[in-house]
Amino acid sequence: MKRTAIIFEKPHAVALREEALPAPKAQEVLIKTTFSAISAGSELRVYRGQIPPGLPADTTIKSLSKPFRYPLKYGYGSVGEVVAVGSRVDQNWLGRQIFSFHPHESHFTAKLKEIMVIPEEMDLKEALFLPNMETAVNFLMDGRPIIGESVFIFGQGIVGLLTTALLAQFPLHQLVTFDRYAARRRASLEVGADSALDPKDPAFMAASAGADANNPAAGPADLVYELSGNPQALNQAIQIAGFGARIVLGSWYGSQAASLDLGGRFHRNRIRLISSQVSTLSPEFSGRWTKNRRLNIAWEMIRKLKPAQFITHQYPLSRAKEAYELLDKNPQEAIQVIFTYGESGSQM
């Protein structure tokens, strides 16, 4: 038997490779993939060649832990079915639907500790959003929103939208989002943002600051999230942050440099920059929290928010090149793009 995998050959070049399908080892299972999700953040940086050379793609995911260099497999959201088990694995695993942090390929083997059983009542497409929902949960843990605060978010890609949806459940004073693309701004309002603005609009600063003579509580941001992936947005975040405000930096810029204006409002306003990265827990939580606890919260939020509504395109693996070109050249048309591994793989 053979499997098919997506290979990132070099910047802006992906190909399909057929490989011999390995049998599961004694303590492994063999998974047949049903769907996998493209990350429009870190994965698009791999596609564009914006990863610092020699940096591991992800230190906490075994398949991505080697130093980065082309050609490579990449991806970290796959769901599928266990179709074979090793000699030391209980036969009851056969037929189970699972999630794995794994690159895009039609079949793969994994140890039991590398997979998670998808809750029985959950649609497989919903389960694809586990990594992004865990990231959004982590952003809230690191930002620590407080009742009555003004919270602003730059970037309404899938992680930004999920973060907005979570924050919309808090009793905030206002929740304002920014994104260049109209479709994402509309989605942002649908999940609970009070207003969604274009950061390139010259009037955005006054609007985002909530200047309103009839509302004395309006004013600069208490908490800002930079999730756009655009280094220039960080200076905009600094511009709208109030005295003592927190800025949670959730974007990963890869090899792109960020030129920061730290000589003005940042210094005098005691603004705090907080690095947030989902591979680890903040030391302040590690005494009580584990990754499993955070993942369980993410599963709960998936049940509640139904993020599969954000899937705008699905492609069979054979059309991988089109999928990446869409996200690279026409991002305004897409929110979440997924791959299908059966005959039903048609573009939406």
| pLDDT value of position 59 | 56
Fold of 131-275: Rossmann fold (3.40.50)
Pairing of strands 107-111, 174-178: unpaired
Cis peptide before 71 (omega within 30 of 0): yes
CATH 3.20.20.140 for domain 2-128+307-340: no
Write out the DSSP string of 57-126: S-TTSGGG-SBP-SSB-----EEEEEEEE-TTS-GGGTT-EEEE---SBSEEEEEGGGEEEPPTTS-HHH
Predicted pLDDT of residue 204: 64
Q: Given this model, what pLDDT does residue 1 score?
A: 84
Per-residue confidence (pLDDT) for residue 279, from 0 to 100: 87
Mean pLDDT by runs of 10 across the 348 residues of the chain is 95 96 96 96 91 67 72 95 98 98 97 96 97 97 97 96 98 95 97 93 62 50 93 88 93 74 81 91 93 96 97 97 97 97 54
Residues linked to residue 325 through DSSP beta bridges, in sequence order: none
Listed by start position, the domains of the chain span 2-128+307-340, 131-275
131 Ramachandran zone, left/alpha/beta (phi>0; psi -120 to 50): alpha
As a whole number of angstroms, the distance between CA 73 and CA 4 comes to 11
Quickly count: other Cβ atoms within 10 Å of residue 155's Cβ: 26
What pLDDT, on the 0 to 100 scale, is given for residue 266? Answer: 84
Q: What is the pLDDT, as a whole number, of residue 260?
A: 77
Give the pLDDT confidence score for residue 346 in this predicted structure: 38
